Chains A and B, each alone.
Chain A
Amino acid sequence: MKTLSLVGILLTACLHAGGLEFAQTLREIHAPADVDKVAAEFEFTNRGDKPVRVVKYDAACSCMSVTIKDAKLKYAPGESGVIRAVFEMGNFSGTVDKVVALWLDEDPADKPSLTLTVRVHIPVLVSLEPKTLKWDLDGDASPQTIRITMNDAKPIRVTGVNSSSPAFKPELKTIEEGKIYELSVTPASIRTPGLGILRIETDSANAKHRLHQAFAVVRKPTPAEAAALKP
Chain B
Amino acid sequence: MNALAQLVTIAAVSLAAAGGTFLIKGPPQRALRCDPAAIQPDEVCLEQIPADAPVVWVDARPRADWEKNGLPGSVLWNLDPAEDAAAFEAAVAMKIAETPRAIVYCGDENCGVSRQVAARIRDIGMEADVSVLHGGWRALNEAGRIRNPSRNP
Instruction: From the candidates B86, B116, B126, name the one contacting A211 in the complex (CB within 8 A).
Output: B86
**A195 contacts which chain B residues (CB < 8 A)?**
93-94, 97
Please give, as numbers and ranges, the residues of chain B lying within 8 Å of A112 by CB-CB distance.
Answer: 110
Q: For B62, what are the chain A residues with a Cβ–Cβ distance below 8 Å? A: 62
User: What DSSP secondary structure best describes chain A's contact surface?
Assistant: mixed
**How far in angstroms is the closest Cβ of chain B from A79?**
27
CB pair A63–B3 under 8 Å, yes or no, is: no
With A60-B111, A195-B93, A222-B127 given, is the CB distance from A91 to B6 under 8 Å?
Answer: no
When the two chains form the complex, which single residue of A90, A92, A130, A193 contacts B97, counting CB atoms closer than 8 Å? Answer: A193
Flag if B112 contacts A60 (CB, 8 Å).
yes
Q: In the bound complex, do residue B7 and residue A197 qualify as a contact, i.e. CB atoms below 8 Å apart?
A: no
- Interface residue ranges of B81-98 to A (CB < 8 Å): 81-82, 85-86, 89-90, 93-94, 97-98
The residue on B at minimum CB distance from A98 is B112
A61 at the interface (CB under 8 A from B): yes
Interface assignment of B106: CB less than 8 Å from any CB of chain A: yes
Contact B100 A88 (CB under 8 A): no
- Asked if B79 and A62 sit within 8 Å, CB to CB, the answer is yes
B143 near A: Cβ within 8 Å? no
Q: Report, as a range, how many residues of chain B touch the other chain.
A: 20 to 34
Find out whether the CB atom of B78 lies under 8 angstroms from the CB atom of A62. yes
B106 / chain A contacts, CB cutoff of 8 Å: 60
Do residues B107 and A91 form an inter-chain contact, with CB atoms below 8 A? no
Shortest C-beta distance, A23 to chain B (Å), equals 23
Is the Cβ of A215 less than 8 Å from the Cβ of B124? yes
Bitwise interface map of B from 106 to 118 toward A, beta carbon under 8 Å scored 1, else 0: 1111111100100
Q: A residues 88-104 with Cβ under 8 Å of B?
A: 88-92, 96-99, 101
Residues A61 and B113 in contact, CB atoms below 8 Å apart: yes
Judge whether A217 and B85 touch: CB under 8 Å. Answer: no
Cβ of A45 within 8 Å of any chain B Cβ, yes or no, is no
In the complex, A89→B81 CA distance in Å?
8
Give residues 1-24 of A contacting B (CB, 8 Å). 3-4, 6-7, 11
A132 in the interface, Cβ–Cβ < 8 Å?
yes
The reply to whether the CB of B80 lies closer than 8 angstroms to some CB of chain A is yes
Chain B proximity of A92: nearest CB distance (Å): 8
> Which one, A6, A97, A132, contacts B126 given CB within 8 A?
A132
CA of A201 to CA of B126 in the docked complex: distance in angstroms? Answer: 22
Closest to B7 in A: A7
A219 within 8 A of B: yes
Residue of B nearest to A87 (CB): B81
Is B67 interfacial (CB 8 A cutoff)?
A: no
Counting CB contacts under 8 A, is B123 at the interface? yes
A3-B6, A130-B125, A219-B97 known; A63-B80 Cβ under 8 A: yes
Is A157 located at the chain interface by the 8 A CB criterion?
Answer: no
Given contacts A6-B3, A131-B124, A222-B127, contact A62 B97 (CB under 8 A): no
Q: Is B81 in contact with A91, judged by CB distance below 8 angstroms?
A: yes
Whether A213 lies near B86 (C-beta < 8 A) is yes
Not counting A62-B78, A130-B125, a sample of 15 additional A-B residue pairs whose C-beta atoms are within 8 angstroms of each other reads A3-B3, A4-B6, A7-B3, A60-B106, A60-B107, A60-B112, A61-B79, A62-B62, A62-B82, A63-B80, A97-B116, A99-B112, A131-B124, A215-B125, A217-B97
Can you report 20 residue pairs joining A to B where beta carbons are below 8 Å apart?
Answer: A3-B6, A11-B7, A60-B111, A60-B113, A61-B112, A62-B78, A62-B79, A88-B81, A97-B116, A130-B125, A131-B124, A132-B124, A132-B126, A193-B98, A195-B97, A213-B89, A215-B97, A217-B93, A222-B100, A225-B127
